[in-house]
């Protein structure tokens, strides 16, 4: 009888292992514009979009274009959490970086407490491109799953 129960246990657990996963992307954008003139934020979309609505298929024989207006892609419902800029008038501000780390850690801890798991983190930078280019951002995408 015990062997029968042990054989049935994997059959009961297996459907839960196959359940669909949900992903969520939250992005932080931190300004690296000198003199603290930029804006730094954490952005969290509060609505879903179906990428298929904005996808076109192009083949050699046929160009099927999606007629979606770019405005339809925009998300109007999102959270915007303020962060501090990396620079101020005096140069790089390590206190600002530490403050941003604390806010981002709080966001991650909140997501984890809501049942999300931090699956991936990816980042990139667009920095000073030379003379006359004072723009730059450090962007990080936090990809959660549950």
Residues 21-32: pLDDT tens digits? 999 999 999 988
Report the pLDDT value the prediction gives residue 1, as an integer from 0 to 100: 55
Residue 42's nearest CA partner among 145, 139, 146, 143 is 139
Beta-ladder partners of 74 = none
Indicate the pLDDT class of residue 136, thresholds 50, 70 and 90: confident
Each residue of 73-102: pLDDT tens digit?
Answer: 888 899 999 999 988 878 888 999 999 999
**For the chain, which residues make up each domain, given as ranges?**
28-145
Q: What is the CA radius of gyration of the chain?
A: 22
Distance CA 66, CA 111 (A): 35
8-state DSSP, 36: G
């Amino acid at each position: 009888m015990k062997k029968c129960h042990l054989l049935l246990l994997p059959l009961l657990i297996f459907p839960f292992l196959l359940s669909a996963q949900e992903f969520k992307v939250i992005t932080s954008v931190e300004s690296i514009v000198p003199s603290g003139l930029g804006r730094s934020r954490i952005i969290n979309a509060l609505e879903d979009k179906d990428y298929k609505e904005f996808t076109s298929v192009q083949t050699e024989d046929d160009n099927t274009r999606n007629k979606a207006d770019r405005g339809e892609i925009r998300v109007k419902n999102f959270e915007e959490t303020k962060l501090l800029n990396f620079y101020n008038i005096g140069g790089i501000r390590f206190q600002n970086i530490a403050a941003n780390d604390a806010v981002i850690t709080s966001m991650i801890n909140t997501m984890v407490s809501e049942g999300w798991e931090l699956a991936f983190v990816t980042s990139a930078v667009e920095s000073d491109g030379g003379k006359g280019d004072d723009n730059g951002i450090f962007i990080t995408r936090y990809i959660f799953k549950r």
